[in-house]
Chains A and B, each alone.
Chain A
Amino acid sequence: MISTWFIPLIILLILVTATIKHVPVYEKFVEGGKEGISMAISLLPFLVGMMVAIAIFRSSGAMEAMLTWVSPLAERLGFPEEVLPLAVVRPISGTAALSVTTELIKTFGPDSLIGRMASTMQGSTDTTLYILTVYFGAVGIKRMGNALKVGLLADLVGIVASIVVVLFLFA
């Protein structure tokens, strides 16, 4: 309930402070907002390219096939097999991850160990590929350096941490 107050209060704070300091608020709003147009346009090729590649991978069934491939290996490492699809999908596609999370919670129940692991995983990491695409794309940077490697490795730590923390807190 408090969260519905956040955004209006931030807007209020900014506008009141600016008005007191004699900032021409409307003119500055329009001036700053203009930048959003070019950023969004610059983003388009990056987003179209990335989303189409992911869509091909998903719709062909290759993503599911990859999961059945990886799962015996994961099982041997002591990784709970049920949450593996989420772990693999989480950094690649936000919508796919959300549907996998929902599915897991629905099947195993929100208060099961698997349900808690899925919830924690979903909440504690973000869609790395999407973030890199959008943030680099909007400012026109093509060479990402080590950003992808760093992001994916941090995701891996986050996923393993989710499992261990849930086992530790709830098992």
Chain B
Amino acid sequence: MINVIWAMLAVIGIVYAGINGTMAEVNRAIFQTIDDSVMITLSLMGVLIFWLGLMKVAEEAGLLRALAKAFRPIVTRLFPDIPRDDPAMGYILSNMTANMLGLGNAATPMGIKAMKEMKRLSGSDEASRSMITFLALNTSSLTLIPTTVIAIRMKFDSAAPTEIISSTLIATAISTMAAILIDRYFYYQRRKKERHI
């Protein structure tokens, strides 16, 4: 699916640019974006180094294990494939905590580290069940307080910039629950198919 989407984005774009006469813009965008993506990766590298270093210290200090222990009843149900005392649990929980607090730049490194731990557990190059669940949670967003949106609302003189916290919380809860259910549905579909083979 990702192969098709990726190719389609570029192919449709180029064909459309031919019809629309925007080929010059496409050319500029290609080379600009190559530069941009390297810059994004570089700044992400700094953030990754900092948080992975700090989380290593937290892991050695037993803080990740304590976090995993505190939320064990919930996470073992969400991630039945991960052994309960595995460091992967600690990283998954730190990612979720950072996301909830709106610390996006700390959440990404912890999430990537969690993915790496899950890859160690599955020992395969293919996405594992836990990885898909984990990403479903992340893409549906776990943010409790949408700080960026509140800032934009303040900039445009909202009478109540924070009033959307309530609607955002409800929408987030619904989409997160949907993500968990959809993920489960596809997982059982996969299992059914495997059994028939």
Contact = CB atoms under 8 A, between A and B. Distances in A.
A74 interface: no
A93 B62 CA distance: 38
Given A7-B106, A53-B10, A155 B140 contact: yes
Contacts of A149: 1, 186
A28 B161 CA distance: 42
A151 B131 contact: no
Secondary structure class of chain B's binding surface, majority of residues: helix
A139 B119 contact: yes
A55 B33 contact: yes
Interface in A35-79: 35-37, 39-40, 43-44, 47-62, 65
Given A55-B29, A124-B171, A136-B115, A141 B139 contact: no
Query: Which 3 residue pairs spanning A and B have beta carbons closest together?
Result: A32-B56, A123-B146, A158-B175
B112 A138 contact: yes
B194 interface: no
A23 B61 contact: yes
Interface of B: 1-2, 5-7, 9-10, 12-14, 16-17, 20, 22, 25-26, 28-30, 32-34, 36-38, 40-42, 44-45, 47-63, 101-103, 106, 108-109, 111-113, 115-116, 119, 125-127, 131-132, 135-136, 138-141, 143, 145-149, 152-153, 156-161, 163-164, 166-168, 170-172, 174-176, 178-179, 182-183, 186-187, 190
B167 A18 contact: no
Interface of A: 3, 6-7, 10-11, 13-15, 17-18, 21, 23, 25, 28-37, 39-40, 43-44, 47-62, 65, 91, 98, 101-102, 105-106, 109-111, 115-116, 119-128, 131-132, 134-136, 138-151, 153-155, 157-158, 161-162, 165-166, 169-170
B112 A28 contact: no
Contacts of A125: 139-141, 171, 175
Contact of A17 (B63, B141, B161): B63
Contacts of B7: 53
Contacts of B113: 35
